[in-house]
Amino acid sequence: MFPLPIYIYAELGALVTSVLTYRSLKGTAFRLFPFFLLFVVVVELAGVYTGRVLHYKNSWFYNISTTLEFIFYAYIFSFILRDRSFKKWPCGSSLFILLWCC
């Protein structure tokens, strides 16, 4: 019925919504969220294309994107958390993930 998996349509809807509400996101921790959602949609579309059309293994593609997504989440948490002791945790965990994955 749908040419793409249904979750990609949900991600596209989230991207469109974030682009339409971008003015209200300025000055907040979520100002980069539309660009993050664009990254997610591009990765998902490229992963589906690589797997279904080209018949290549796409696990390496998702592994890299998941690492970058965790770094973005840590960036968002570092803005949201107010206490300095809590701010060290997302930065330290993203450094750990980077070192562990590479």
In a domain, 55, yes or no: yes
Percent of the chain with pLDDT over 70: 87
Task: Tell me the average pLDDT of the chain.
Answer: 85
Q: Which of 64, 42, 61 is nearest to 51 (CA)?
A: 61
* φ, ψ dihedrals at 54, nearest 5°: -85, -15
Reported as a single tens digit per residue, the pLDDT across 21-45 is 999 988 888 899 999 999 999 999 9
In a domain, 35, yes or no: yes
**What ranges in 21-83 are assigned the alpha helix state H?**
22-25, 33-48, 59-80
How many CB atoms lie under 10 A from the CB of residue 16? 13
Q: What is the pLDDT of residue 98?
A: 73
In a domain, 63, yes or no: yes
In a domain, 33, yes or no: yes
Full domain range(s) for residue 25? 6-72
In a domain, 88, yes or no: no
In a domain, 36, yes or no: yes
In a domain, 99, yes or no: no
In a domain, 101, yes or no: no
Total domain count for the chain?
A: 1
